[in-house]
Chains A and B, each alone.
Chain A
């Protein structure tokens, strides 16, 4: 260690906790142009403001991941370009807040299916956190995001390999909500691996523990997963009961990501009851919500789900339109790495105007999402 960067001794930071919250609120509420133009006014060079901003951004991921990403990126850029003699940071604080902003940005990118960007942000976060006082705990939070990313990419081997040690780390440090999130991902991997009964048991336990912990974030995601799983297992009554509880809960907590996916699940439930028009309506409602949240990957997945349903009811031309709407998004987001073969097949069958449903299902099977 050189001791070159030494923030000591240092006077009071000049921004109180309540002022910091007000700066953070104002920064987040501003338009992109206003934020950029007035960036110096938000006091982001102050550790107290950054603490309030990181907390605010973390809370808002589920209600608007694209807005949070935009705000986190700009704040990261501002702090990382601050000259060494500016900013009221003590000890590891500059490194910590850069790590935290990168972690929030990485989480948003994952929710938005921007997977390459997600990887880059998580690498930045890991780098900054190595320099902090609690590097093990902070690095474990980055590892959780990587675990969730693997889950979305259907790399089940990696998920099952990584989940154990990360969960153990959270258990040892008493990070209960993070441990719950890990168990949620494990349950999702079980479901994906076809271990439906084990997955159900695991999700129900996560749900009970999330209620006890009052973790709205985990509850939102687990409500969606359980609703879908009950539906898949033919337990329509339980699925309906859960939807009835989840809908007002998610509205109250502002978890728009989970709410839109809940509506997707409602579509599945209606489809399982052969209520085709109602199912289509529910899928469309969910798609509109996902579009508002700028969750393009999920919008594309729903195009394919709707196409599948339309094919089932003999509406081939409409189905073709849905698939044509999905393909550019899949291309742009470089999604479904394992599904490229299926996608080529689908393209080819579209060209010949005979849609291969097997290929279609293989592609949209890679899209199911997990909570943040």
Chain B
């Protein structure tokens, strides 16, 4: 059981290490986050993801499913944050207004495809 927990935790670190750089790029270049906003967002995402790794009593999904969850949640909440900003009258750069029209699933899948093409995940 301890070994299982250890390998689950290793898997979570591995997926984070592989996926966070791509997520950072999407946050900044697609959703219009500043660098510091993107860093804070990623820290929050990492705390959440470590707890996801401990859900369901160690019966972790595969690394590709975990990566999918991470990318999807990142895009869903990044979009929601920018929408909240826009709705509350805070400035959102015009170039990013269009990105908010795209569904987070679409953005997440594009992100995952790019990762696959880059050959990073095993």
A interface residue numbers (CB < 8 A to B): 1-4, 6-10, 12-13, 47-48, 51, 55, 58-59, 90-93, 96, 100, 133-134, 137, 141, 173-178, 214
Contacts and interface: CB of A to CB of B under 8 A. Distances in A.
A134 B44 contact: no
Interface stretch (B18-26, B65-73, B90-98, B110-118): B65-73
Contacts of A134: 52, 61, 65, 69
Contact of A10 (B1, B44, B51, B54): B44
B84 interface: yes
Contact of B65 (A3, A10, A137, A177): A137
A369 to B, nearest CB: 23
B76 A1 contact: yes
B14 interface: no
Given A6-B80, A6-B84, A177-B59, A93 B44 contact: no
B59 A13 contact: no
A173 to B, nearest CB: 5
B79 A1 contact: yes
Interface in B32-78: 40-41, 44-45, 47-48, 51-52, 54-57, 59-62, 65, 69, 72-73, 76-77
Given A3-B84, A177-B59, A178-B59, A48 B51 contact: yes
A90 B62 contact: no
Interface of B: 1, 40-41, 44-45, 47-48, 51-52, 54-57, 59-62, 65, 69, 72-73, 76-77, 79-84, 87, 104
A3 B81 contact: yes
B44 A3 contact: no
Contacts of A51: 51, 54-55
A1 B80 contact: yes
B61 A3 contact: no
A91 B73 contact: yes
A138 to B, nearest CB: 8
A59 B57 CA distance: 9
B83 A1 contact: yes
Given A1-B79, A3-B81, A6-B80, 19 more contacts: A2-B83, A3-B82, A3-B83, A3-B84, A4-B84, A8-B40, A8-B41, A48-B51, A51-B51, A59-B57, A92-B73, A96-B55, A100-B55, A133-B73, A134-B61, A173-B61, A173-B62, A176-B59, A178-B59
B41 A9 contact: yes
Contacts of A141: 56
A3 B104 CA distance: 12
A214 B59 CA distance: 13
B79 A175 contact: no
Contacts, number: 78
A199 to B, nearest CB: 26
Contact of B51 (A7, A47, A175): A47
19 contacts: A1-B76, A1-B80, A1-B104, A2-B80, A6-B77, A6-B84, A9-B40, A55-B54, A58-B57, A92-B73, A93-B51, A133-B72, A133-B73, A134-B61, A134-B65, A134-B69, A174-B60, A177-B59, A214-B1
A96 B77 CA distance: 16
Given A9-B41, A177-B59, A3 B54 contact: no
Nearest to B69: A133
Contacts of B61: 134, 137, 173-175
A356 to B, nearest CB: 47
Nearest to B41: A8
A140 B96 CA distance: 37
